[in-house]
């Protein structure tokens, strides 16, 4: 019995899933939210039951202790010795990490050294790691990077056409994110296609944040996010691809500072910025259905931008066998999928089976037998990727 805990530590939250790796089942999951507050919330789910507690949790260390104690208290495990590995999600691995690694002090130093590339994320992940390391010193820890899957991109894909010294001295390049999701979904798609020797897949991870990935023979050759998760498609509140001059133009016209521009592009743009309604796709869709024109145009931009990347990756892949939809919007919104397919159907000969598109079955084909490209809906599972890599690296 190998139990592994997959952890995603944010600056004020800590999400986890406890896996039984023999059958890859989730035996418990939960989240510590509002760390640092008097009214922090701890939620634990197992056996179809949910326990919620509001209490002061001053820091991650306390959050981890609470989480581990409650696993014992609720008899999810009888002793912490049953947990043989801890896998940590790390957003930014820079060009230091091209695969998951055993997490030790050297790796922690490496992650800290590139924290300027993802200031909010990497520091929080390290805080989570140190808290778990202290609570479970005798157990193996593994770092799993969102960027690692994209380390197979070629220089002509990851370099920006800016002076080369910014790449050499400041590590400015495309890294891409959502790697664990793109890896999981493309791998599952290859399985569903019967494990062909060669495959050309486009994964559309459409959530609050979103990115596309072109996967050739199981390897990422391009992805829409860049130096940061701001690049690529339109997102809930992020602008995605824009003419870079938009930034300097707005600054000189309105006097906005660089840091305000960062907030505007990350938190006030995307579906929210265009519609003025919400960053949540469901809210924007509801407003569009009630006749709100800005909401309607926001949904059209969203579909068009995704279609633009599909077209571009179709060319780079030299064709496409399958397009996969995943994450909150990709898995749940049949209208978002239909709008996107509508943009590409004539060029790519894609045909959707309406009934399959509306069904809620996981891991399903939604294209017709006549379609020139297969289209799948595949729920993502980044935590399972983390747990599998932890098992692999710790030889469990």
Contacting ligand AMP within 275-304 (CB under 6 A): 280-282
Q: Is 232 in the site for ligand AMP (CB under 6 A)?
A: no
Q: Which is nearer to ligand AMP, 274 or 317 (CB)?
A: 274
Among 328, 343, 374, 383, binds ligand AMP (CB under 6 A): 328
Answer yes or no: 95 catalytic. Answer: no
Query: For 74, what's the count of Cα atoms within 13 Å in the CB-facing half-sphere?
Result: 18
Q: Is 27 in the site for ligand AMP (CB under 6 A)?
A: no
Judged by CB under 6 A, the stretch of 11-19, 123-131, 173-181, 321-329 that binds ligand AMP is 321-329
Q: Which is nearer to ligand AMP, 158 or 184 (CB)?
A: 184
Q: Which of 59, 99, 146, 217 is catalytic?
A: 146
CA neighbor of 67 nearest in space, from 42, 36, 48, 103? 42
Q: Which is nearer to ligand AMP, 282 or 358 (CB)?
A: 282
Least distance to ligand AMP, CB of residue 43, Å: 16
Task: Give me the residues paired with residue 9 across strands.
Answer: 14
Among 67, 142, 230, 327, binds ligand AMP (CB under 6 A): 327
Q: Is 31 in the site for ligand AMP (CB under 6 A)?
A: no
Q: Is 266 in the site for ligand AMP (CB under 6 A)?
A: no
Least distance to ligand AMP, CB of residue 326, Å: 8
Beta strand segments in the chain, E: 3-9, 14-20, 25-33, 40-46, 49-55, 83-90, 101-102, 140-145, 200-206, 210-216, 219-223, 322-326, 364-365, 374-377
How distant, in Å, are the alpha carbons of 227, 255, 272, 379 from that of 249?
21, 10, 21, 40
Among 236, 240, 270, 273, binds ligand AMP (CB under 6 A): 236
Q: What are phi and psi of 135, to 5 degrees?
A: -75, -30
CA neighbor of 230 nearest in space, from 168, 273, 275, 285? 273
CA neighbor of 330 nearest in space, from 317, 321, 339? 339
- Tell how far CA 389 is from the center of its chain: 16
Q: Are β-strands 322-326 and 374-377 bridged in parallel, bridged antiparallel, or unpaired?
A: parallel
Q: Is 324 in the site for ligand AMP (CB under 6 A)?
A: no
Closest residue to bound ligand AMP by CB: 328
Q: Is 366 in the site for ligand AMP (CB under 6 A)?
A: no
How distant, in Å, are the alpha carbons of 319, 340, 341, 367 from that of 348?
9, 12, 9, 12
Q: Which is nearer to ligand AMP, 63 or 210 (CB)?
A: 210
The tokens describing 377, both together, are 């809906």
Q: Is 240 in the site for ligand AMP (CB under 6 A)?
A: no
Distance CA 154, CA 316 (A): 12
Among 27, 192, 208, 261, binds ligand AMP (CB under 6 A): 208
Distance CA 322, CA 376 (A): 7
Q: Which is nearer to ligand AMP, 331 or 343 (CB)?
A: 331
Q: Which is nearer to ligand AMP, 266 or 332 (CB)?
A: 332
- Which residues lie near ligand AMP (CB under 6 A)? 207-208, 236, 280-282, 327-329, 332-333
- Catalytic center residues: 146
């Amino acid at each position: 019995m190998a139990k592994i805990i997959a952890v995603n530590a944010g600056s004020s939250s800590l999400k986890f899933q406890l896996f039984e790796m023999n059958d890859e089942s989730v035996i418990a999951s939960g989240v510590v939210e509002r760390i640092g507050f008097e009214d922090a919330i701890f939620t634990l789910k197992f056996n179809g039951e949910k326990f919620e507690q509001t209490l002061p949790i001053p820091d991650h260390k306390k959050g981890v202790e609470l989480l581990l104690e409650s696993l014992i208290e609720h008899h999810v495990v009888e002793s912490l010795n049953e947990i043989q590995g801890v896998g940590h999600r790390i957003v930014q691995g820079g060009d230091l990490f091209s695969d998951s690694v055993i997490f030790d002090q050297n790796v922690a130093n490496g992650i800290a050294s590139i924290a300027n590339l993802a200031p909010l994320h990497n520091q929080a992940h390290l805080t989570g790691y140190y808290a778990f390391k202290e609570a479970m010193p005798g157990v193996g820890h593994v770092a799993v990077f969102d960027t690692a899957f994209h380390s197979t991109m070629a220089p002509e894909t990851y370099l920006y056409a800016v002076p080369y010294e910014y790449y050499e001295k400041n590590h400015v390049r495309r890294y891409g994110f959502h790697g664990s999701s793109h890896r999981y979904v493309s791998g599952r798609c290859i399985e569903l296609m019967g494990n062909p020797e060669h495959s050309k897949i486009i994964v559309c991870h459409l959530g609050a944040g979103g990115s596309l990935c072109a996967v050739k023979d199981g390897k990422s050759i391009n992805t829409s996010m860049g130096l940061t998760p701001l690049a690529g498609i339109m997102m809930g509140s992020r602008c995605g691809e824009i003419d870079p001059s938009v930034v300097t133009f707005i600054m000189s016209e309105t006097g906005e500072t660089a840091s305000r521009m960062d907030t505007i592009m990350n938190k006030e743009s995307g579906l929210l910025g265009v519609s003025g309604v919400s960053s949540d796709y469901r809210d924007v869709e509801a407003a569009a259905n009630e006749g709100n024109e800005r909401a309607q145009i926001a949904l059209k931009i969203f579909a068009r931008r995704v279609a633009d990347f599909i077209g571009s990756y179709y060319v780079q892949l030299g064709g496409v066998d399958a397009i996969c939809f995943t994450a909150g919007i990709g898995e749940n919104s049949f209208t978002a999928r239909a709008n996107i397919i509508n943009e590409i159907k004539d060029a790519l000969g894609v045909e959707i089976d309406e009934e399959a598109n509306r069904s809620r079955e996981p891991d399903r084909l939604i294209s017709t037998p006549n379609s020139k490209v297969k289209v799948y809906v595949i729920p993502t599972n980044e935590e399972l990727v983390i747990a599998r890599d932890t098992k692999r690296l710790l030889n469990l």
